[in-house]
A and B are shown apart, each in its own frame.
Chain A
Amino acid sequence: MKILNRKNILGFAAIIAFYVIVQLLINADVIDSYLQLNIVIIGINIILAVGLNLITGFTGQFSLGHAGFMCVGAYISAIVTAKLGQPFLVGIIASGLGAALVGLVIGIPTLRLKGDYLAIATLGFGEIIRILMLNIDYVGGASGFNDIPQYTNWTWLYFMVVISVLVISNFVKSYAGRACISIGEDEIASEAMGINTTFYKVLAFTIGAFFAGIAGALYANYFYFIKPDSFGFMKSIDILVTVVFGGMGSITGSVVGAALLSVISAFLQRYPELRMVIYSIVLFSIMVFLPRGLMGIKDIKLNFLKRGGSADGDSETR
């Protein structure tokens, strides 16, 4: 299996082409600032949803604290870029690593818990982070953190989305991903098959937290201003809804789900009084007619480009 096969080259070309086209449209003012705002929201939501899907959809660990990691990333990037005057790249890396470290520290004790108990523990974690930020004057406390330089643009956003989707889908379509999926399916059997379940649960949690941190950095450096309340319990629920909407265990589902829900939500802003009603009806219909989400557990595959057998690590249904 060569790395520079036809599929990979075509995929790479498509990624670059999409970037260039959108950049040209932005330069030509076809995509105005309102559209750009929505594109940024979509990108951030994709990163968050894909990360949470690794934790909840694939590894089966029900986490309600994903906005907490985003909060950690947003504040770290804000401090690094605004207070310390460092370039955005440093802010992004620091945010990812900081959130991953928090994920590791939180994950080791809480991932012993299962199901509802884990959900409550992670929910508590998210609230702790929010309250902490609310009470630290250095980062502005309740009045928020102001004057963050606006570094996030299409280039940063797009390549961060591509990196996070690629890393997580590479991870999932490998022996490590199979280990995570098997934990979600049956933890006891998984451990009996020689899989260090604690290691993989913590690893999935840490990778998810890493990308949530990056999403936080992109958020902070786009909106100039962050406040703890943006990263509350409802934000975690929103991310979870996106993952369930797209399909637990489908990367494509998370990407499509995040894009679609962001668009629906932006569109509905014109009808503020009916907004939540229609939004709920959409979610409700998806759950009734497609109980496993938009994509179920299936991922879009470029099968027609593929030559070799199935021994390259891709599984057919995941």
Chain B
Amino acid sequence: MVILKLDNLTKLFGGIVAVSNVNMEVEKKQIVGLIGPNGAGKTTLFNLLTGMYTPTSGTITYGTDDKIVLNNLRPYSVTSVGIARTFQNIRLFKDMTVYDNVRIGFHHNIKCGIIPLILRLPVFYREEENVGNKAMEILKLFNLEDKALELAKNLPYGDQRRLEIARALSTKPKLLLLDEPAAGMNPNETKDLMKLIRWIRDKFDLTIILIEHDMSLVMGICEKIFVLDYGTLIAEGTPEQVQNNPKVIEAYLGGEE
């Protein structure tokens, strides 16, 4: 079942073509890799998917039963229909606690107006308690519950990466976009991360798209890979198909001189 479909998606910045006529279909519950040389337009594609940029042309359709066109949605609406992301350069709320970082993700599920909040009506306490419990559950799954009251900026690097994933999961996504989750990790940490990604896919019933330069991770866990170069999709398929594709080899290693 297709959960995400891109039709002729194009993004121009002035005269520069960042993403050009990309057609993609992502199957539900798959782990999908998005690779390509630096500047190929991978992060731009993520920004288009999450509403941070508006496409110049083409459409993004999301959902299995109800199809939603994401083109003109603001980022917060995209999150509320079920797409969450992490960032290439970790963007945690650094001066907030680990616990609060995760509680932020539940924001769009809170049903309590501003007036009950200021008057501290029972509905406010009920919602806050609910959010607090759910946040602790997620922190427990990520083994971060002991650090719940530490400031996010004081966590070690690997924990910050995991916290960012935990925070993204707290928005209850169906589709999770990970932008270079293994950046800056050593081979052992990368292995743990691979296990973690597979495990959250099964546990939370997710579709995952990830951008990554670490080929051991991409080839190890992705069921399907899309390759971008200069904004165009040059190859797609299983890891074996992509590895043997001459266009991909040329994009990464250069053609014959």
Contacts and interface: CB of A to CB of B under 8 A. Distances in A.
A173 B149 CA distance: 15
Given A189-B87, A195-B76, A175 B128 contact: yes
B100 interface: yes
Nearest to A179: B107
Given A194-B79, A315-B96, A315-B99, A176 B104 contact: no
Interface string A1-39: 101000000000000000000000000000000000000
Interface in B83-120: 84-85, 87, 91-97, 99-100, 103-108, 110, 112, 114, 117-118, 120
Contacts of B75: 191-192
B100 A189 contact: no
Contacts of B131: 175
Nearest to A313: B128
Given A194-B79, A313-B128, A170 B118 contact: yes
Contact of B132 (A176, A310, A318): A310
Interface string B57-81: 0000000000000000011100110
Contacts, number: 125
B167 interface: yes
Nearest to A297: B95
B43 to A, nearest CB: 12
A135 interface: no
Interface in A177-205: 178-179, 181-182, 185-186, 188-197, 203
B122 interface: yes
Interface residues of B, number: 46
Contact of A312 (B87, B96, B125, B149): B125
A317 interface: yes
A179 B107 CA distance: 8
A168 to B, nearest CB: 9
A167 to B, nearest CB: 5
B211 to A, nearest CB: 15
Contact of A3 (B120, B133, B136): B120
Given A3-B122, A317-B151, A194 B107 contact: yes
B129 interface: yes
B96 A193 contact: no
A158 interface: no
A269 interface: no
A195 B170 CA distance: 13
Interface string A285-317: 000000000000100000000000111110111
A195 B104 contact: yes
A311 B131 CA distance: 8
Contacts of A185: 93-96
4 closest A-B pairs by CB: A311-B132, A194-B79, A194-B108, A189-B91
Interface of B: 50, 52, 74-76, 79-80, 84-85, 87, 91-97, 99-100, 103-108, 110, 112, 114, 117-118, 120, 122, 124-125, 127-129, 131-133, 136, 149, 151, 167-168, 171
30 contacts: A1-B129, A170-B120, A171-B114, A171-B118, A174-B124, A175-B117, A178-B96, A178-B107, A179-B107, A181-B93, A181-B100, A186-B91, A186-B93, A188-B87, A188-B91, A189-B87, A189-B91, A191-B75, A192-B52, A192-B91, A193-B167, A193-B171, A194-B107, A195-B76, A196-B74, A196-B76, A297-B95, A313-B128, A315-B99, A315-B100
Given A185-B94, A317-B149, 20 more contacts: A1-B125, A171-B114, A171-B117, A174-B124, A175-B128, A178-B96, A179-B107, A181-B93, A188-B91, A189-B87, A191-B76, A192-B50, A192-B79, A192-B91, A193-B167, A195-B104, A309-B132, A311-B132, A316-B149, A317-B97
